[in-house]
Amino acid sequence: MQYQDTPETRTIHAANGQSRRYIPAVDGLRALGVLTVLFYHLRLPFAKSGLLGVTVFFVLSGYLVTRLLLSEADATGTINLKEFLRRRGRRIMPVMILMILVMSIVYTFTDGFLLNKMRPDVVPSILIFNNWWQLLQNVSYFEAQGAPSPLTHYWSLAIEGQFYLIWPFIILLFVKLRRASRVHGGDGRGWTALTVATAVMAVVSAVLLVVYFDPTADSSRAYYGTDSRCFSLLAGALLAMWETDGGMQRMAGRSISENGEPRGGRFSGLDIAGGISLLVIILIIWLVRGSSPLLYRGGQQLVTVLTMILLYAALQEDSLWNRFWSWKPFVAIGKISYSVYIWHYPVIDLISGVRRASFGTTMLEIAISFGLAAAGYFLVETPCRRGALGRMAADIRAWISMRKARNEGYDVEDPGIGAKNAATIIVAAVLILASVFCLLFGDAFAKERYPEPPVGHRSEMQIREHEQKVRNEQALKEAAEQAAAAEEQQQYDYLLIGDSVALTAAKELNARFPNMIVDAVNSRMSYETAGILDSYLQSGWNGKAVIFALSTNGPITDELEMIRKKIGPDKQIFIINARAPYDEFPDRNNKIIKTFVDSDPNAYLIDWYSASNPHENWFDGDGTHMNQEGNVHYVDLIDQVLTSVYGENAHGESGE
């Protein structure tokens, strides 16, 4: 997200006879966006859907960038694409890259697990396709596979970057069509065609968000997709088009009475509309969880419209909301909001693992995030925005030319690079070299802290999946043969359906329970339960119980009731609850599990959450997947519950 677009708020191109002034209230609105995102990642209870701060930023960015492009087109008759992209790159890239450089070094010596999480995301993040990279790698935004990558939040930067690459070309196309219309006798006025096309694209994008969202499946495609999220950017663009075409001036004129006072008394209708919009946004952020279907079936779209109203109100000089959002603390936060967004997530990831932390730790994370953001803003972001990199490059080129000329025998004056530039070049070179070294070879240092690679890594999970697949295929074959022979004794009493957590302990489970089918797969979601269970039932499995171990990755809906319906009222259901501190799903799922167990006499809770919660040393560093010691305790707990129900027969004839 490019949240710090101060140059756009200071643009001086003429449009409709108006000069573009700096509007402090726009920076104030950025504060709303970045604070809600920050509070969401801090797991504060009043920011359940603080991720909507991203939507606020998208609207602001769409408006500011489109206003800049239309102003340039009106003033010059064209758009300098090269200059536009250069300004965008100068704005977003320095701080974005600086964070990667710094944190790769920090993680090397503090948290090797996060270094491994970060490494594959570096290149996609710098090349602004992080969102599509996550989708291509089948990495779910909503899946709790332990501590998330410190670059997870770069998905939104990627969407904005892609918008900046495409949107100017679309506007330039309409600029040329407008010019051609004038040449052929048309009036060429307004931006009607562009406005209609933008509105259509926005509606299509908003509909795609609804279409892609499936409450029973992973919704990363809806959340990450540029096509399904760009409607907020386009909504901001529509507001800019309306302003450029004089809509704001006409609306402002109608709201002023003949004596120059606002119509409607002390508070104008716009003030009231802005207040209602802000109140509704706050209530949604406070009350609606980020995983709620409401956010995809109208919530994101509603917040987009409400943000447009807030922005429109903030742009009016005499409005209450222009004064409110121009309050200096809001403006100060808004100015550094881009840097805050860049730095806060890796800081929280390192200190508390984006888990709910104590009050003191939370305050520390906020202080460090804002401290790094302020330093980045004043030392890197602002100088780069003002052309420091270009001037430095020019000085270096002049110095190289001087050295070359002197080598050829010419007597030329040494322009000098300057102590400040020389120091900056040295620091940058050392930082880049150290970061590249850490990204490539950091494991040599990190292994001293984390001697074993996390068992959640995809390569190891694939090996375990293959081993379990072979065993489960044999189990299906034997179950079918037994059913065909009408044998009363079933060899496989238990069918465990699980995700990567159960897969981590699959070998130990097989050893302890030879009468158990462990069908566990990495990244499995709970909605897949029905198809898996049907395949075993149709193949003849008729054991004692189903063990449900799919509470980690996504929301449980009606899976437990579905299992009961399919296996009948007399078979037992054992449910392993979740211990995954990096996601919001487990708490909700654990409540659903408890309610189901309390209401079903043949359902039993395997309370892994309570048993493991005090024991960080049972996990490999991500707080979710067990290490070898954790695997033993995981299997012991399952053993205790099964034995409490079945006694000595819990392990089958060949078991313990």
Containing 328, the helix (H) or strand (E) segment is helix 328-335
pLDDT above 60 (res 529):
yes
Mean pLDDT is lowest, of 325-339, 362-376, 524-538, for: 524-538
Q: What is the C-alpha to C-alpha distance for residues 561 and 425, in angstroms, rounded to an integer?
A: 64
Asked if 626 and 634 touch (Cβ cutoff 8 Å), the reply is yes
CB 513 within 8 A of CB 494: yes
Phi then psi dihedrals of residue 536, to 5 deg = -75, -40
Q: Which domains, from first to last, does the chain contain?
A: 6-385 (no CATH), 388-446 (no CATH), 458-651 (3.40.50.1110)
pLDDT surpassing 70 at residue 269: yes
Q: Are 292 and 284 in contact (CB under 8 A)?
A: no
* DSSP assignment string, 156-201: HHHHHHHHHHHHHHHHHHHHHHHHHHHHTT----S-HHHHHHHHHH
Contact present, 113 and 442 (Cβ < 8 Å) = no
- Contacts of 261-266 with C-beta under 8 Å, sequence gap 24+, read 262/318
Residue 325: CB partners within 8 Å, gap ≥ 6? Answer: 24, 25, 26, 27, 28, 29, 31, 32, 314, 331
How far is residue 414's CA from residue 416's CA, in Å, rounded to a whole number? 5
pLDDT band at 179 (very low <50, low <70, confident <90, very high): confident
Say whether 619 sits in a helix, a strand or coil. Answer: strand
pLDDT tens-digit series, residues 555-583:
788 899 999 999 999 999 999 998 876 66
Lowest-confidence segment of 7-11, 133-137, 139-143, 645-649 by average pLDDT? 7-11
| Count of C-beta atoms within a 10 Å radius of residue 371 | 12
Burial class (CB in 10 A: 0-12, 13-18, 19+), 502: buried
Give the separation between CA 575 and CA 548, rounded to whole angstroms: 5
Lowest mean pLDDT among 7-11, 359-363, 469-473, 633-637: 7-11
Inform me whether the pLDDT recorded for 184 exceeds 60. Answer: no
- Give me the long-range contacts of 176-180 (CB less than 8 A, separation at least 24): 179/77
The structure tokens listed for 600 are 């079903």
- Residue pair 19/310 in contact by the 8 Å Cβ criterion: no
CB 492 within 8 Å of CB 475:
yes
Task: Write the CA distances from 597 to 219, 319, 411, 605, 636, integer angstroms.
Answer: 28, 55, 89, 6, 21
Rounded distance, CA 248 to CA 301, Å? 22
Which pLDDT value is given to residue 50? 92
Token representation of residue 117: 């999480």
pLDDT above 90 for 551: no
Mean pLDDT of the chain: 82
Residue 249's pLDDT band (cuts 50, 70, 90): low
Report d(CA 54, CA 415) in Å as an integer. 46
User: Rounded mean pLDDT of 118-133?
Assistant: 93
Contact 104, 45 (CB under 8 A): no
d(CA 480, CA 487): 11
pLDDT at residue number 372: 96
pLDDT of residue 469: 60
Residue 3 in tokens: 């949240």
> What six digits make up the tokens of 413?
């004056």
User: What is the structure's pLDDT at 468?
Assistant: 57
Average pLDDT over residues 125-130: 94
pLDDT at 622 over 80: no
**φ, ψ (nearest 5 deg) of residue 21:** -105, 165
Q: Can you tell me whether residue 372 is helix, strand or coil?
A: helix
Q: Taking residues 466-470, report their average pLDDT.
A: 58
At residue 237, what is the residue type? A
